[in-house]
Amino acid sequence: MQTKFLFRLILSLVLVFEFSSCSDKSGIPDSKYQIKDDLGIKVGFDSVPRKIISLAPNITEALYAIGADSLIAGVTDLCDYPAGAKNKSKMGNYLNPDYEKISSVSPNLIIMYVSGASQPSYQALKNLNMKLFVCNPVNTNDIIKMINNLGRITGRELKAQELSQNLVNEREKYFISARNIKKESCLIVVSVNPLMTASGKTFIHEITELSGLDNLYKDESLDYPMISYEDVTAKNPAFIILPCDTTDEIKYNNFISELSEKLNTTNAVKDKKIILADDDVIFRPGPRFLEGVKIISSKLQKFR
């Protein structure tokens, strides 16, 4: 679980542009423009990049969501959604990209998910004279900004704006709904052993709050702090949110057993209020973030 989290979160982001009838022609960017990426670096563009490599699953999902998948020349080993992403050329993983394979593609642009320019993979690609654009969304507003930036870069600006506006509208509905109910406390589990959670600075926190729950560790200074089972027991959460691979029944049952044993006096365990959620949805700051809200909200209804 910790390994998947590292690759997905610390991450934990298009091939030939076709002027077809389904292209977002009116969204083709100006001949020359600049966009500031999430490292604060201004990246200049003269035209739509014809070969883009996405080095994070959430970026790949966003490119597909705005109809820019024909521009993708390569993705990471973990890029598995939507199904078409599995057929794209694999360029290694987030922590260890295949630099030789990336160079052989001669990409026009590499979109990355890194926390700083000092990260080894960023520096290595920079040294190879690759053009880089960093997307590092830490909350839902950042996700929406990422979608709009990718739309402008790929000439799918109108499609991106439509998608982002729909997300904003749907998010507002959940916000209003959550505001009008009494929120019960919850523990968000990012890792079982060691025990790790999410603070109020993360998009996972937003998903939980929009679902109508109160994150026990929202005031922590670190984004993803390590905590103790003793402290959780003292705080006594009403619910536990457990993101995991929901297709691996043996593994998630082991996680539930360990949590139940170590938190056996909490209301969440005694009342059997441990909510499983697909970690591919919950851990990826991408266009499916509201699906995480829907999953948790629907399961909460069974307890109310």
Could you tell me if 115 and 235 lie in one domain? no
Whether 144 and 264 map to the same domain: the answer is no
Give the pLDDT confidence of 229-260 residue by residue, as tens digits: 999 999 999 999 999 988 899 999 999 999 99
Domain count, the chain: 2
Where is the domain boundary, 134, 164, 194?
164
Phi-psi label, residue 243: left if phi above 0, alpha if psi -120 to 50, beta otherwise = beta
Amino acid (one-letter) located at 234 = A
Supply the pLDDT for residue 31. 59
Boundary of a domain, candidates 111, 132, 164: 164
The span from the CA of 39 to the CA of 53, in Å, is 18
pLDDT at 12: 41
Q: Are residues 247 and 144 in the same domain?
A: no
Question: Is residue 151 domain-shared with residue 38, that is, in the same domain?
Answer: yes
Q: What is the pLDDT of residue 108?
A: 96
- Whether 169 is in a domain gets the answer no
pLDDT along the chain (304 residues), means of 10: 46 34 42 90 95 97 98 97 96 91 96 88 94 95 97 97 98 92 94 95 94 96 96 98 91 94 97 94 94 93 82
Tokens of 117: 């320019």
User: What pLDDT is attached to residue 207?
Assistant: 95
Sign, Cα dihedral of 114, 115, 116, 118: negative
DSSP letter string, the chain? -HHHHIIIII----------TTS-GGGPPPSSEEEE-TTS-EEEESS--SSEEE-SHHHHHHHHHTT-GGGEEEB-TT---SGGGGGSPB-B-SSSB-HHHHHHH--SEEEE--S-TTSHHHHHHHHTT--EEE----SHHHHHHHHHHHHHHHT-HHHHHHHHHHHHHHHHHHHHHHHTSPPEEEEE-SBTTTTB---TTSHHHHHHHHTTEEETTTT-SSSS-B--HHHHHHH--SEEEEEE-TT-HHHHHHHHHHHHHHTTTSHHHHTT-EEEEEHHHHT--STTHHHHHHHHHHHHHTT-
Domain limits for position 26: 2-164
Q: Residue 290 belongs to a domain with what CATH number?
A: 3.40.50.1980
d(CA 77, CA 101): 13
Residue 175 domain flag:
no
7 and 132 belong to one structural domain: yes
Interval 68-81: pLDDT, tens: 999 999 999 999 99
Regarding whether 263 and 230 lie in a shared domain, the answer is yes
Tell me what pLDDT residue 37 has: 96
Q: What whole-number distance in Å separates Cα of residue 196 and Cα of residue 47?
A: 43
Residue 147 shares a structural domain with residue 193: no
Q: Is residue 268 part of a domain?
A: yes
Residues 136 and 190 in one domain: no
Exposure on the CB side of residue 169, measured as CA atoms within 13 A: 6
Amino acid identity for residue 218 in this structure: K
- pLDDT score, position 32: 85
